[in-house]
Amino acid sequence: MKNVANATDYLDMDTKELFKVYRSDKENKGVRNILIERHLYLVNLLAKKYINKGVEFEDIYQVASLALIYAIDRYDIERGFEFSSFATPTIVGEIKKYFRDKVWTLRVPRRVQELSKKISEAKVILEQQNKKHPKVKDIAEYIGCTEEDVLEAMEASYGYQPISLDASSNDDSEDKDITLIDKIGKEESSFGNIEQMDFVKKFMEGLNELEIKIFKDRFFLDKTQSTIAKDLEISQMTVSRLERKIVDKLRKEYEKNN
């Protein structure tokens, strides 16, 4: 097995050949180091795009470098696409996560900021260990907190800076085409097809008191999430989360009865 001591044996090899060697021998740190050196230009290029955004360049560069290593470990040359195309989203994603932890436009409790940072670190560690995106339950168990705390911190993390509603939701769902605007509460067109009030009444029997209040206020009285949150003395994030839960229940109930 090759090691760092004889890494010079690989210096003249083509990058694609190096990836093939590393794919068959993940313990070959010498090959990995060469691959890292050859792709640091990508780290520098992407990190520079975030200069003068409130975080030291050295910190951004370090985050991007770690993301590069993560991308090299995950890259499978047999799939046929270029490494730069694979690594760029990974590096940019890690930089954005770092900004989410460090730069907060909205006032978010320090407790939530610190938890958000722990969540980001836990997601990376758990994904490396299990080779798949961790669930909220897994993150909560790893950190030692409740699932509700994890959800609250994950939603609050979007307050680090204004972003486009057309941007990717950037979460753990399998459908990467979902944008942020798809997740914002809005009038559901399917409600117009619900003509029988007995269906609505039956559906509401399966909701608790808080869910009924939000359901009526949002879809019958057309109140905003912020107004409902103020009335109930809870966070708007909680209202948004419960609203999505209610809509999901309604859709499943409607599909089951039609």
- What does the pLDDT look like over 227-247, one tens digit per residue? 898 988 888 888 888 988 888
State yes or no: pLDDT of 191 exceeds 50: no
pLDDT value of position 91: 92
Domain edge (last residue) among 139, 162, 180: 180
The pLDDT tens digits of the residues spanning 201-212 come to: 788 888 898 988
Average pLDDT taken over every residue of the chain: 77
The pLDDT tens digits of the residues spanning 34-50 come to: 999 999 998 988 988 88
State yes or no: pLDDT of 168 exceeds 70: no
Do 242 and 134 lie in a common domain? no
- 235 vs 110: which has the higher pLDDT: 235
State yes or no: pLDDT of 55 exceeds 70: yes
For the chain, percent of residues with pLDDT exceeding 90: 9
Confidence of residue 6 (pLDDT cuts 50, 70, 90): low
Contacts within 8 Å (CB) and 24+ apart, 91-95: 91/42, 91/43, 91/46, 91/64, 91/67, 92/46, 93/67, 93/170, 94/63, 94/64, 94/66, 94/67, 94/70, 94/124, 95/46, 95/47, 95/50, 95/60, 95/63, 95/64, 95/67
Do 231 and 113 lie in a common domain? no
Do 171 and 195 lie in a common domain? no
- Encoding tokens for residue 213? 């209040």
Do 101 and 196 lie in a common domain? no
CATH of the domain at 199: 1.10.10.10
Cβ proximity of 101 and 116 under 8 Å: yes
Do 211 and 176 lie in a common domain? no
Q: Which domain holds residue 218?
A: 189-256
Do 193 and 166 lie in a common domain? no
Do 45 and 72 lie in a common domain? yes
Do 171 and 193 lie in a common domain? no
Do 125 and 92 lie in a common domain? yes
State yes or no: pLDDT of 179 exceeds 50: yes
Q: What is the DSSP letter of 134?
A: P
> Which region among 11-15, 47-51, 119-123, 214-218 has the lowest average model confidence (pLDDT)?
11-15
pLDDT value of position 69: 92
Cβ proximity of 20 and 13 under 8 Å: no
Residue type, position 91, single letter: I
Do 156 and 213 lie in a common domain? no
The pLDDT tens digits of the residues spanning 59-85 come to: 889 999 999 999 999 888 888 788 888
CA-based angle 6:10:11, to the nearest 5?
105
Do 26 and 73 lie in a common domain? yes
Domain edge (last residue) among 180, 203, 229: 180
- The CA R_g of the chain, rounded to the nearest whole Å, is 23
Give the chain's domain count: 2
pLDDT value of position 29: 82
Domain edge (last residue) among 153, 180, 207: 180
Mapping DSSP to helix (H, G, I), strand (E, B) and coil, where does residue 179 land?
strand
Q: What is the pTM of this model?
A: 0.41
- 178 vs 248: which has the higher pLDDT: 248
Phi/psi at 168 (5° precision): -60, 145
